[in-house]
A and B are shown apart, each in its own frame.
Chain A
Amino acid sequence: MLRWSKILVFLLCLTPLFQLAWRVWNQDLSANPTEFIQHFTGDWTIRLIIATLAVTPLRKLLGLPDLIRFRRMIGLFAFFYGCLHFLTYLWLDKLFDFQAILKDVSRRPFITAGFTALVLMLPLALTSTAGWIRRLGGKRWRRLHLLIYLSAIAGVAHYYWLVKSDIRQPMLYATLVALLLAWRLVSWSIA
């Protein structure tokens, strides 16, 4: 039962990738395919970060402690889509011109924020294995993984600073992240 539910969540997390592949195959990516792929992969990165942040509150509120078994996978998929997103920037926008990339990262707040969000996820992805939890010890591991909060905030800021005037979508993500972080603040202060 657990095994099957894990496979199901795995496939669910892969669905956006299949959807994107289908659109590539059908050349259904608009007149600006790069922009389409960037927005698509960026959207799914933020959505999956929000999903990982939602796991703990949902476990408590719904009384479903087993949900924890999906959290690592969802988090790794968020990192995966984040990497795809970053790759389109490195390759299609910047053609691996690292000087131009450094200039961008240092001069443009929305690039700085997006880069920060991804870099913060890197140690979390690397230490996501059972071996690393053991090596670090539960307490230190948990403390390290608080970085996902910063990553989520940076990711939302990245999106907010990117849009020209219609801020509804980034505000929706910002609200969800704020609610999920506020829930933690409240539950810590009660405990």
Chain B
Amino acid sequence: MLIHKPADLRYSEITPKSVYLNRRKFLAGIPAAFLGARELLSPCARAQAGVKLPNLVKGPFSTDEKPNSYNDATHYNNFYEFGTNKNQPAENAGKFKTYPWTVSIEGDVARPRKFSIDEIMKLAPLEERVYRHRCVEAWSIVVPWAGYSLSTLLKQVEPTPKARYVAFESYWDLRQMPLARPELAGIAFPYVEGLRLDEAMHPLALLSVGMYGEALPPQDGAPVRLVVPWKYGFKSIKSIVKIRLVASQPPTTWNLANPHEYGFYSNVNPHVDHPRWSQATERRLPSLFQNHPTQMFNGYADQVASLYTGMDLKKYY
């Protein structure tokens, strides 16, 4: 049973970082502390991993469920560019260069352009949103993200009436990601994802630049990623470099790898099983037991169910 904490407790009080930081990690953290100090002098360093995000405001849609520890959310990652084991991204992404960074927005838009990460960080007030995150592998966590609705960014480029889908692309560079090869990971690179335009414009769809009050660490998709909490985790593409507004449904990585198992929509749905395992329940980490009932649209049905009115979700899985 989940014991709900009073809502006025902040996650930082519930899972203090100091609890998991052992001495060695503390010592290793000293250079980062210097970076933090340097950041006061140079505003450009704001997007760098681990740096505190100032002026976070409380955003909408937050759950009052207890967030997972920072350590769990940063040491249990599916980020195949840095290895297919979940402990590998934390080990291999440490030197991933996420600054400077630009995101190019193109396609069926009136004003195509490139955004620097500094511009993205300043485009709108950064909101803290605590979302449930449900992986297709039937585990789930709760994460306090920082960012704003993806629609804020998309409106900047003025999608034309032709635009009906949004295609996303992750960074891919074998020099920085030597494991990001299809023959090793079993999926194609660069990682690509997609949403229907109305899904992408939904206020729940978050463009995230941080978590736990800090800029995103590299293994969680720094410096900017998508968070689509009503869909399985792999839809929430990491380390975005390109966004393209298009007329027809774009290819998506897991669908290309195995179309029978991973659909374009991939909405969280307890009634549609993965061909190889049930999606009716999940393991809410760090629990040992697979006994947490999975909710329709991961519990966001009130917000997003109307996007799929009249659709057969068994067919469009």
Question: Given the complex, which residues of B lie within 8 Å of A175, measured CB to CB?
Answer: none
Tell me the complex Cα distance, A32–B71, Å.
12
Which of B68, B137, B141, B278 is within 8 Å of A104, CB to CB? Answer: B278
Question: Given the complex, which residues of B lie within 8 Å of A92, measured CB to CB?
Answer: 288-290
B184 pairs with A166, CB closer than 8 A: yes
B84 pairs with A31, CB closer than 8 A: no
B258 pairs with A165, CB closer than 8 A: yes
Residue of chain A at shortest CB distance from B72: A31
Question: Given the complex, which residues of A lie within 8 Å of B137, measured CB to CB?
Answer: 164
B276 pairs with A30, CB closer than 8 A: no
B288 pairs with A34, CB closer than 8 A: yes
The B44-103 residues at the A interface (CB cut-off 8 A) are: 68, 71-73, 75-76, 80, 84, 86-87
What is the predominant secondary structure among interface residues of chain A facing chain B? helix
Residue of chain A at shortest CB distance from B287: A34
Tell me the complex Cα distance, A141–B248, Å.
63
Q: How many residue pairs between the two chains, A and B, have CB atoms under 8 Å in the bound complex? A: 62
CB distance from A20 to the nearest CB of B (A): 14
Tell me the complex Cα distance, A30–B77, Å.
11
A167 at interface, CB cutoff 8 A: yes
Contact pattern, A 161-188, Cβ under 8 Å of B = 1, otherwise 0: 1101111100000000000000000000
Tell me the complex Cα distance, A110–B141, Å.
26
Question: Given the complex, which residues of A lie within 8 Å of B75, measured CB to CB?
Answer: 30-31
Question: Given the complex, which residues of B lie within 8 Å of A30, measured CB to CB?
Answer: 75-76, 86-87
B84 pairs with A110, CB closer than 8 A: no
User: What band does the interface of chain A fall in when counting residues whose beta carbon is under 8 Å from B?
Assistant: 20 to 34
B276 pairs with A110, CB closer than 8 A: yes
Which of A31, A162, A165 is within 8 Å of B286, CB to CB? Answer: A31
Tell me the complex Cα distance, A95–B289, Å.
8
Tell me the complex Cα distance, A108–B288, Å.
22
Tell me the complex Cα distance, A174–B31, Å.
46
A95 pairs with B291, CB closer than 8 A: yes
Tell me the complex Cα distance, A110–B258, Å.
16
Question: Given the complex, which residues of B lie within 8 Å of A110, measured CB to CB?
Answer: 276
CB distance from A114 to the nearest CB of B (A): 12
Tell me the complex Cα distance, A35–B291, Å.
14
Question: Given the complex, which residues of B lie within 8 Å of A164, measured CB to CB?
Answer: 137, 186, 258
Interface residues of A (CB under 8 A from B): 30-35, 92-95, 100, 104, 108-110, 161-162, 164-168
Other than the given A92-B288, A164-B137, A166-B184, 19 more pairs (CB < 8 A) read: A30-B87, A31-B86, A31-B285, A32-B283, A32-B286, A34-B283, A34-B288, A34-B290, A35-B283, A94-B290, A108-B278, A109-B276, A161-B276, A162-B276, A165-B80, A165-B185, A166-B80, A166-B185, A167-B186
